[in-house]
Amino acid sequence: MEISLPTSDQNFVESLIPQKFPFVMVNAISEYSEEHLVSGFTIKEENICVHEGIFQASGLIEHQAQSVALHTGYKFYLLGKEAPTGYIGAIKTFEAQTLPKTGDELVSEVKIINEMMGVTLVQISTKVNNEVIAKSEMKTVIK
């Protein structure tokens, strides 16, 4: 199966990350390079991280981490290999200016700062309607 970007093919996007329903927090990939990725996610009422119509900070963090996993997964897809499982190694900073609501479309930009020996340092910025609502810096680790 050959997929070109941008794509919001849910089955393809989910094939690139280790998380499965109901814990999937990405549903689109629009840009990719070795140092960069742009992901998307539409918040639905039934999402496990929605409380009273508001997507919680824990959901934002998980969306950002899954955006990093999407970068790794797409990289391995291009190489014709199965993506390894990873996890958040450390969250250096996380700041949310506002919490998004049901129906909002998150667009997150991942910038790879450094990648060495399975540890990736990233900066992530999440927007709704072109307005930054959350930023973080974290380390992810490949198992």
Identify the band that residue 118 occupies on the pLDDT scale cut at 50, 70 and 90.
confident
The answer to whether the beta carbons of residues 95 and 54 sit under 8 Å apart is no
* Per-residue model confidence as pLDDT tens digits over 15-64: 999 988 889 999 999 999 999 999 999 999 999 999 999 999 999 999 99
The two structure tokens encoding residue 122? 């990233």
* Secondary structure class of 2 (helix, strand, coil): coil
Q: Can you give the length of the chain in residues? A: 143
Q: What pLDDT, on the 0 to 100 scale, is given for residue 1?
A: 57
Q: What pLDDT, on the 0 to 100 scale, is given for residue 143?
A: 80
Stated pTM of the model: 0.94
Residue 131: pLDDT above 80?
Answer: yes
The answer to whether the beta carbons of residues 38 and 24 sit under 8 Å apart is no
Q: What pLDDT, on the 0 to 100 scale, is given for residue 60?
A: 97
Round to whole Å and give the CA distance between 42 and 20.
16
From the list 134, 1, 3, the residue with the least C-alpha distance to 70 is 3
Please give the mean pLDDT across all residues of the chain.
94
Instruction: Dump strand ranges (E) for 1-143.
Output: 28-33, 36-42, 50-51, 54-55, 86-96, 105-116, 119-128, 131-142
Q: What pLDDT, on the 0 to 100 scale, is given for residue 4?
A: 83
